[in-house]
Structure 1
Amino acid sequence: MADEPIERQHQREREQERQRLREQEEKDLKVEASRGSRPLEGFAGGHTTWTGAQDDQAAARVHAGDAEESWRASERQARLEPEPERRDEDEDA
């Protein structure tokens, strides 16, 4: 007799889970029924200036000094030194 309330609770939880799964399936079917482009989930808003046409050599050249510059910036920050003024790369060209 003591098992009856627990069994009813378990039965209610199973029914709630089945209902949740039915609702999820209905949503999936609606999405699958529609046609069109779909962004990658989680990456839809991500923007980058790096294109697929750029190769690994270009990446290595562009980012060659990143680690050293990051280390120097960390050292300056640890000593509370002001950041040096940055020159635009366009001015160098």
Structure 2
Amino acid sequence: MADSPIEKQHQHEREQERERLRAEEEKDLEVESHRGPRPLEGFAGGHTTWTGAQDDEAAARVHAGDAEASWEASERQARLEPEPHAVDDED
């Protein structure tokens, strides 16, 4: 029964999938073999204004309050409080 047309088709599909995975792994290994800047994970295709010329010190200044702001937002959500509204300077 292993030589049935359906079994042959399934075997062929499995072989194609293995070959596709091997090709993808080869691409991954090729990329990883070169050192250099990497895009932010999850934003590889997105536009960013952050450049390689900006160093860790600048990033630390820009994102200094991120953890605290995130924690405060989480606490507000846990208490089901509304988000504070930003004050507009246009008034």
Aligned alpha-carbon RMSD (Å): 3.8
Residue deviations 1:40-82 (CA, integer Å, cap 9, x gap): 232243569xx2123647x98xx7324xxxxxxxxxxxxxxxx
Which residue identity lines up with residue 7 of structure 2 in the other structure? E
Counterpart Cα distance in 2 of 1:17 and 1:52: 43
With CA pairs under 8 Å and 6+ residues apart, which has the higher RCO, 1 or 2? 2
TM-score, normalised on structure 2?
0.52
Q: CA deviation at 1:87?
A: 1.4
Please, which runs of 5 or more residues in structure 2 have no aligned partner? Answer: 51-61, 74-82
- 1:1-93 maps to which residues of 2 (within 5 A)? 4-44=4-44, 45-46=47-48, 51-54=62-65, 56=68, 64-66=84-86, 87=90
TM-score, normalised on structure 1?
0.51
| Secondary structure of residue in 1 paired with 2:39 | coil
Which residue identity lines up with residue 85 of structure 2 in the other structure? G
Counterpart Cα distance in 2 of 1:64 and 1:6: 62
| Secondary structure of residue in 1 paired with 2:43 | coil
Give 1 or 2: higher helix fraction: 1
